[in-house]
Amino acid sequence: MLVGKLGYLIVCCAAFSLVYGLSSEMMGLNDREMIYSRVFDMSRQIQTMPELLNLANSRITSGKMFYIITWIISRFTSDYNIYLFVLGVFFNASITYYIGRYSNDPRMSFIIYLALIYPLSFTIVRQCTAMIFVIIAIDMLYRKKHILALALFAVAMMIHLSVVVLIVILFLRKVKFHKLTILLVPVGVFLGMYGGNYIFRFMSFIVTDETYSSRYAITNGKGMAITAIAIRFLILLFLLVIASINRDWFSKEDVNRIVHKKQNKSHNLFRIKWGDHEWVYDHYKISAIEPDVFLWSQLISTIFVSLMNILGEFQRMATYYDINLVVAVPRAIGTLKKRDNFIVSIIIIVLFIVYFLYFQLDNWNIRQYRFFWQ
């Protein structure tokens, strides 16, 4: 069973990577076609690191580390599609690792990943590259390796400055989540509807890129993303209910007792021996994690999505916090009794599939799949 679970993780990672890697640059919004192909071509023509850094310095919104990663890949291939495929493999591998290590139900986790995060990867290539390091940094935080985690966050910020929005959760992760805090969601909706000018003026002090001004003029006031807000708010309420019933709902003991109580064998997923050394990957060997971090993450994600009416980039910011849902939701469901577990799982799966089919596909221009050679 456990070996089968490893196989399932590998197959899912390969499938997501292939679908992404074989897709046309015309899929998604125009970022892959207009931005990343140009960055790759310019990097491929540069021979030395100083030249590369000068190029990166000339582009305000592009992180130096992203140019370095692109330049390194361009030393091995001149094919733009292979370049995208490599980035996609690493991104999907990081998500798969996170799911494999912390989720008690990978099937549910991959459905959430498909609905919330995967569609964005067809457009926000640079941010997804930053998210590779963010995911590893989150894992290091769970393991109490704070210095390494901060170093990884710093690398991620050098790829995409938007990673700075995660500073909020670094301060809140040890703060107890109060039920009344959910009232910040309607405040976010109100700001999204009527506070665009004030929020954009505040953002202008932080980001001086003039392209955001034109995007704000186009996006502002076009309409609230009701579906995106509703699904995140409902999940927030669900996690809050579970946390109210069981304070330690994310703990290893609770999930193993309910979901795996009939399993008396070792939980080791697989072992690798090399000489006198043995490396063991234990699927359930994790330290206790304060569940408040997931409640805060979901609250922040919901507020960011509420502000999409002002600027579409707020959904990208929400994605950093949506990462936690791929493990939080399955573990929350895992604390329920068998009958309730089944009913809630079906409801959540339907909810996310509907969201994927009727919102994400059109929102990110990926409804009609095209191969890169078409």
In a domain, 154, yes or no: yes
Distance of CA 330 to the CA centre of its chain: 16
In a domain, 371, yes or no: no
pLDDT tens across 211-222, in order?
Answer: 554 554 455 555
Highest-pLDDT range among 22-36, 130-144, 164-178: 130-144
Torsion of CA 20, 25, 29, 35, to 10 degrees: 120
Highest-pLDDT range among 175-189, 251-265, 345-359: 345-359
Residue 253 has pLDDT above 50, yes or no: no
Contact 335, 221 (CB under 8 A): no
In a domain, 330, yes or no: yes
Contact 306, 318 (CB under 8 A): no
The overall pTM is greater than 0.95: no
In a domain, 369, yes or no: no
Domain range for 122 is 2-363
Into how many domains does the chain fold? 1
Share the mean pLDDT of the chain.
81
pLDDT of the residue at 173: 79
Q: Give the separation between CA 114 and CA 370, rounded to whole angstroms.
A: 18
**How many angstroms separate the Cα of 326 from the Cα of each of 40, 124, 319?**
31, 19, 11
In a domain, 185, yes or no: yes
Contact 312, 286 (CB under 8 A): no
Which helix or strand (DSSP H or E) is residue 268 part of?
A: strand 268-274
pLDDT tens across 304-354, in order?
Answer: 998 887 777 788 899 999 999 999 999 999 888 888 999 999 999 999 999
Place of tokens 């591998």: 93
Q: Which two tokens stand for residue 110?
A: 């991959």
